[in-house]
Structure 1
Amino acid sequence: MNTHITVIGGGLAGLTAAIAAAETGVPVKLFEAHQTLGGRGRATPPPHVAHEGAHVFYADGPHYTWLKKRGFVAGLGWPGPTDAAKVGFRIDGRIRRLPSVGMLRAQSRKWLQAPVDVDFHTWATERWGELAATQVANAISVVTYDADTGRLSAAFVWDLFQRALGITVPGVRWVRGGWQQVVDRMIARADELGVVVETGARVDTLPTGGPVIVATELDSARRLLGDESLRGTGGFAALLDIGVRKDRRDRFVVFDLDEAGFSECYTAQDDTIAPAGESLFQLQMPVRDGESRDSAHQRLELFADAVLPDWRSRTTFQRTATAKNRTGALDLPGTTWRDRPAVDRGDGVYLAGDMVAAPGMRGEISINSALAAAASAVTDARRASGARTAVPDGEASGR
């Protein structure tokens, strides 16, 4: 072919788009501004392998089907029965084994259909009371990274809550080695397919001569395309990674119903990401409107005091960070994923990433939008070359 597809951005969305397009036989060039590929899927080097945020997959959507078919999520890890039983809920400053009665009632109402045009707090308060509405919203902040999840669309929050904390067993999957393992496999597949990759190559001008998939953060895409409409709503959270010497008092997972924090032990299902005899935890705390990052980190450390007894005296590794607009799109009342920036920007330009018009949550949006972008870009490239059109496997609707 005399036409190739250009992918700008080498994170999860960019790698997905490049692989999906290259699998059809269309030449692909990928440009990444950083020296390494992977975007937010990258992790710290061993012995403590820590990610920028929660690194789990949900096996209930087309994104996972696509990943699994290619072996990208092979080698799953599972918490043992002892660890799996150590789930807790922070209520009124104490760690309890069960959530509140109000939250249990909400969990049992899977059949309810929440409205798009009403905020979740208002809708849930009418059914279970204000306290339960706040606790449910705080519980699902693990997904949104938002200190006021109740302000979001009721339909959006309710879907997330039922997927992650509903009465149906959630389809959570942990890949041993974390997302870095998945990214490494995707990089190897792209290389196998002949994708031409240039790292340390920042693109400031939109390339010509073929379809282009812009798989960057939305801010970068807005600047590159000169399109001020490319904006979205995202979360903002303080993060704390802690490696500690093991203690039987440590819990596997804790949902903070008081302040929307969250804690998870990733070595419970993957002992390769920390030295023997140690546990690696990631904790998060959404930053409140107008709150300083220092204040959010102070609240996060107080949360750590509650879930990891004597953690300071046991610490072998520690890393702090903040994550702003890095958790996928959040839908405000009156909007759905279809109202986000469209994948198809016209004139052979396509958008992929976690804040564009594709279904799913977090990184699922990146994968699903990338598959939709790749399918359209392949059609354009083959049409320009007069070749037969082939659709990338696993195309998701995001147009």
Structure 2
Amino acid sequence: MEPDLTIIGAGLTGLTAAIEAAEHGWQVTVAEAHSRPGGRARSLAAPYRANAGPHAIYVDGPWWAWLEHRGLTPPIVEAPRLPGLVRAGGRFGPWPAELSEAIAALPAEAPPQESFRAWLLRHVDAKTAEAIVGVAFIFSFDHDPGRLSAEFAHQRLRRTLAGGARYVAGGWSTLVDLLAERAAGLGARISTRTRVPTLPAGPTILATSLATARQLTGDSSLTWPSARVATFDLGLRADGGPGWFRVMDLDDRIYAARYSLADPTLAPPGHELMQISAACAPDERKTDAERRVQRLLDQTWPGWRAAVQWHRGTIRTDCTGAIDLPGTTWHDRPAVSRGDTLTVATDQSAAPGLLAEVGISAARLALQQLGETPRPSSESDSRHVQGRSR
């Protein structure tokens, strides 16, 4: 049977769209180029169950509410009660209380047309402004968050520091498996190792990267700024180690966390998994970013090099969500609807949210654009759809 709806991409966005579409009676096919679902949310198999990058889910967001409503919330863990280490203004120490006070004292609203740095300098001194800009790396992954829209950065800063972040136990693949199982249980067909060279004729959601959507459609308007980040994963022997769970280098835009301290299943017994993100300037090489990370670890974890048992690293471009520059908001990003039957749901689409939540919002908008109830092509299809709807 020809599908009522084709979804290209079985990442979190594509699987969410498949579940909601199937709930509304669509006959859904999901095409995934990789050997298993998950997209950028895939995790490695044991012994080190590293994600494609360090991830947390925000339990105060609309997607979490969507998962709760369907009984799909994954097991989650909070950060362990170990101190964090922060570098700001060239000095290492605990999270500065005065930094939290300065952020809390900022106005509730910030303008979209002004840069984040310029807006901050109207409210705090230059040293504090640069520290707050450094904090904004955590949710933007950008090498210079001060250049972003003040509204974009300020809204996400408040939410990031509100304490709603949690870690998915077992890595993001735990959540991917829950979504894939629910989609399949509702009748959606997930075809892995399936590359789609041309757009299907019927209703379609492109739940891919914006670059892939641009390539498939030939639509040059499908572009929006994103960050460039180097990610490094380390598997280490757990023989001692520092007394911190994470290091936030606000000066050099590096975030390192020992994730297996929160979730021991991510590493084999006697070992631990650390995942690191380092913002990269447009022309910075991976080796240069790696040297910056190594310097940070040398300063904060003497002897770490001898403990390394496994490592990997890569540069990730345009895969950490949208960033809005001054004068733009999410409304200005590429529209979800691209015609009567084609929609594009990516984390750089014109939809609200934080990081991957944007893609989820875009997927739900895409289904609204296509119509929640499919139009059956025959009487037999109509009986099938009506039966599924009940």
When the two structures are superposed, what TM-score results if normalisation uses the length of structure 2?
A: 0.92
Q: Verify: 1:88 aligned to 2:81, yes or no.
A: no
Deviation at 1:92, TM superposition (A): 4.1
For residues 15 and 107 of structure 2, what CA distance do their matches in structure 1 show?
37
Per-residue deviation, residues 256-305 of structure 1 (Å, max 9, x unmatched): 12111111121122111111232211111111232222111211211222
Specify the code of the residue in structure 2 equivalent to 1:235. Answer: A
Per-residue deviation, residues 149-170 of structure 1 (Å, max 9, x unmatched): 10000011111111112xxx42
For residues 284 and 216 of structure 1, what CA distance do their matches in structure 2 show?
22
Specify the code of the residue in structure 2 equivalent to 1:77. Answer: V
Q: Verify: 1:296 aligned to 2:289, yes or no.
A: yes
Equivalent position of 2:352 in the other structure: 359
Specify the code of the residue in structure 2 equivalent to 1:375. Answer: Q
Per-residue deviation, residues 312-337 of structure 1 (Å, max 9, x unmatched): 11112211122111111000111111
For residues 17 and 374 of structure 1, what CA distance do their matches in structure 2 show?
7
Is the 8 Å Cα contact of residues 233 and 274 (structure 2) preserved in structure 1?
Answer: yes
Specify the code of the residue in structure 2 equivalent to 1:266. Answer: Y
For residues 108 and 173 of structure 2, what CA distance do their matches in structure 1 show?
37
Equivalent position of 1:214 in the other structure: 206
Per-residue deviation, residues 129-177 of structure 1 (Å, max 9, x unmatched): 2222221111121221111110000011111111112xxx421121211
For residues 103 and 376 of structure 2, what CA distance do their matches in structure 1 show?
50
Equivalent position of 2:329 in the other structure: 336
Q: Secondary structure at the match of 1:323?
A: strand
Q: Secondary structure at the match of 1:121?
A: helix
Partner residue of 2:267 out of 268, 271, 274: 274
Report the CA distance shift for 1:184/1:3 in structure 2 as closer, same or farther (over 3 A).
closer
1:46-65 equivalence runs, <5 A: 46-65=46-65
Per-residue deviation, residues 200-219 of structure 1 (Å, max 9, x unmatched): 221121111x3111111111
Q: Verify: 1:200 aligned to 2:181, yes or no.
A: no
Partner residue of 1:242 out of 234, 239, 244: 234
Q: Secondary structure at the match of 2:350?
A: coil
Equivalent position of 2:167 in the other structure: 174
Equivalent position of 1:69 in the other structure: 69
Specify the code of the residue in structure 2 equivalent to 1:349. Answer: L
Is the 8 Å Cα contact of residues 255 and 277 (structure 2) preserved in structure 1?
Answer: yes
Moved more, 363-372 or 299-308: 299-308
Deviation at 1:37, TM superposition (A): 1.3
Partner residue of 1:189 out of 171, 182, 193: 182
For residues 258 and 385 of structure 1, what CA distance do their matches in structure 2 show?
62
Per-residue deviation, residues 78-114 of structure 1 (Å, max 9, x unmatched): 3443x2xx1121134442013273x334322255211
Q: Verify: 1:350 aligned to 2:343, yes or no.
A: yes
Report the CA distance shift for 1:378/1:157 in structure 2 as closer, same or farther (over 3 A).
same
For residues 378 and 126 of structure 1, what CA distance do their matches in structure 2 show?
46
Moved more, 125-134 or 330-339: 125-134
Q: Verify: 1:325 aligned to 2:325, yes or no.
A: no
1:349-388 equivalence runs, <5 A: 349-379=342-372, 381-382=374-375
Deviation at 1:384, TM superposition (A): 6.7
Report the CA distance shift for 1:3/1:92 in structure 2 as closer, same or farther (over 3 A).
closer
For residues 92 and 117 of structure 1, what CA distance do their matches in structure 2 show?
28
For residues 79 and 338 of structure 1, what CA distance do their matches in structure 2 show?
34
Equivalent position of 2:125 in the other structure: 129
For residues 371 and 277 of structure 1, what CA distance do their matches in structure 2 show?
43
Report the CA distance shift for 1:385/1:134 in structure 2 as closer, same or farther (over 3 A).
farther
Equivalent position of 2:95 in the other structure: 98
Q: Secondary structure at the match of 2:338?
A: strand
Q: Secondary structure at the match of 1:223?
A: helix
Deviation at 1:338, TM superposition (A): 1.0
Paired residues in the alignment total 382
Is the 8 Å Cα contact of residues 143 and 327 (structure 1) preserved in structure 2?
Answer: no
Give unmatched runs, 5+ long, in structure 2. Answer: none
Equivalent position of 1:233 in the other structure: 225
Report the CA distance shift for 1:380/1:325 in structure 2 as closer, same or farther (over 3 A).
same
Q: Secondary structure at the match of 1:318?
A: strand
For residues 243 and 330 of structure 2, what CA distance do their matches in structure 1 show?
38
Report the CA distance shift for 1:2/1:385 in structure 2 as closer, same or farther (over 3 A).
farther
For residues 106 and 59 of structure 2, what CA distance do their matches in structure 1 show?
19
Report the CA distance shift for 1:337/1:55 in structure 2 as closer, same or farther (over 3 A).
same
Report the CA distance shift for 1:224/1:310 in structure 2 as closer, same or farther (over 3 A).
same
Percent identity among equivalent residues? 37
For residues 235 and 270 of structure 1, what CA distance do their matches in structure 2 show?
28
Is the 8 Å Cα contact of residues 273 and 280 (structure 1) preserved in structure 2?
Answer: yes
Equivalent position of 1:396 in the other structure: none
Specify the code of the residue in structure 1 equivalent to 2:277. Answer: Q
Is the 8 Å Cα contact of residues 251 and 307 (structure 1) preserved in structure 2?
Answer: no
Specify the code of the residue in structure 2 equivalent to 1:243. Answer: G
Deviation at 1:199, TM superposition (A): 1.6
Equivalent position of 1:149 in the other structure: 145
